[in-house]
């Protein structure tokens, strides 16, 4: 790979962030999982790159690409933050084709010089190099979900196939998805209320699909299906999912995703519950 073998000390000094990948799909696949809004905020630290997408002050999705995933990850500052058009970024990452020939990989070098500079993408496939410059923006405020582990009341770890099956079986014509977690039966229940009637899906806590089940108190919460549907992209890619609810009913879905090289990335979804409006 000419991009990876090329070394220029001056180049490193002018960029505050340099990240290289032998296979660009290891990045684009994870970013597609959170692509339900046009813009995203990128946070780069020594741990890696966190990409955040938010919607309607009710949903926040975070994709964590660890530094180990990159063949080269150099960051000159403690942290680097910028806002970028995620749609354009994904288009550039797949500029050589979304379904390349098997055995053909697209190498990526991503460089960012700092505040006000564009994000530069150097993509190489078969000796052909494409350079993309994407304008960056100043980051805006972020949603404060304040989801703390100490406030978590219920935690369930499922095989992703179990939850995928649920989303395909349940009647999604309704507005909400009700999640019931109880120390007794039905333990973990997903319910929808559609035009054809009510649907319920129960998971015994001793099921093969359930890897962990921690529940101290019965909790019933409802969430807008329109807010949860985008998370099915990450669900389709993942192998395991952690479902947690805190004392306020806030939902956290953490997906463990393995890329083509067997490395692990995480995608996390936060969703606000529905509250009943008191009758006046």
By C-alpha distance, which of 140, 95, 92 is closest to 119?
92
For residue 124, state whether it binds other proteins (rule: CB under 8 A).
no
Strand order across the 59-66 sheet: 136-137, 80-85, 39-45, 48-55, 59-66, 264-271, 251-258, 238-246, 152-159, 210-215
In angstroms, what is the minimal distance from the CB of 125 to other proteins? Answer: 24
Residue 101 to residue 103: CA distance in whole angstroms: 6
Among 10, 13, 216, 275, binds other proteins (CB under 8 A): 275
For residue 262, state whether it binds other proteins (rule: CB under 8 A).
yes
For residue 249, state whether it binds other proteins (rule: CB under 8 A).
yes
In angstroms, what is the minimal distance from the CB of 130 to other proteins? Answer: 30
By C-alpha distance, which of 167, 156, 171 is closest to 214?
156
Which range of residues in 23-31, 91-99, 126-134, 221-229 is near other proteins by CB under 8 A? 221-229
* C-alpha Rg value of the chain to the nearest Å: 21
Sign of CA dihedral 239, 244, 249, 253: negative
For residue 103, state whether it binds other proteins (rule: CB under 8 A).
no
In angstroms, what is the minimal distance from the CB of 100 to other proteins? Answer: 22
φ and ψ of 259, to 5 deg? -85, -175
Among 13, 141, 206, 208, binds other proteins (CB under 8 A): 141
In angstroms, what is the minimal distance from the CB of 181 to other proteins? Answer: 15
Among 195, 206, 208, 216, binds other proteins (CB under 8 A): 195
Residue 132 to residue 123: CA distance in whole angstroms: 8
In angstroms, what is the minimal distance from the CB of 214 to other proteins? Answer: 10
In the window 152-171, what residues touch other proteins (CB under 8 A)? Answer: 155, 157
């Amino acid at each position: 790979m000419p991009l990876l073998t090329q070394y220029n000390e001056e180049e490193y000094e002018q960029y505050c962030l340099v990240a290289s990948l032998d296979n660009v799909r290891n990045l684009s696949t994870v970013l597609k999982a959170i692509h339900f809004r046009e813009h995203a905020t990128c946070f780069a630290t020594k741990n890696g790159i966190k990409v955040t997408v938010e919607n309607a002050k009710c949903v926040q999705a975070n994709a964590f690409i660890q530094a180990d995933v990159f063949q080269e990850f150099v960051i000159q500052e403690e942290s680097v933050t910028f806002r970028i058009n995620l749609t354009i970024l994904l288009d550039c990452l797949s500029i050589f084709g979304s379904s390349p020939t098997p055995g053909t990989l697209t190498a990526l070098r991503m460089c960012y010089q700092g505040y006000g500079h564009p994000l530069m993408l150097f993509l190489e496939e078969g000796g052909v190099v494409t350079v993309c410059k994407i304008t960056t923006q100043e980051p805006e405020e972020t949603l404060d979900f304040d989801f703390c582990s100490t406030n978590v009341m219920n935690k369930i770890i499922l095989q992703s196939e179990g939850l995928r099956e649920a989303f395909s079986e349940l009647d999604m014509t309704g507005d909400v998805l009700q999640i019931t977690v109880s120390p007794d039966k039905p333990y973990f229940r997903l319910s929808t209320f559609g035009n054809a009637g009510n649907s319920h899906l129960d998971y015994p806590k001793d099921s093969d699909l359930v890897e962990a089940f921690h529940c101290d108190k019965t909790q019933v919460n409802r969430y807008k299906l329109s807010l949860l549907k985008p998370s099915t992209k990450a669900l389709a890619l993942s192998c395991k999912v952690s479902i947690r609810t805190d004392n306020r009913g806030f939902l956290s879905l953490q997906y463990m995703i393995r890329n083509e090289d067997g490395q692990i990335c995480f995608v996390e979804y936060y969703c606000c519950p529905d509250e009943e409006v008191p009758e006046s």
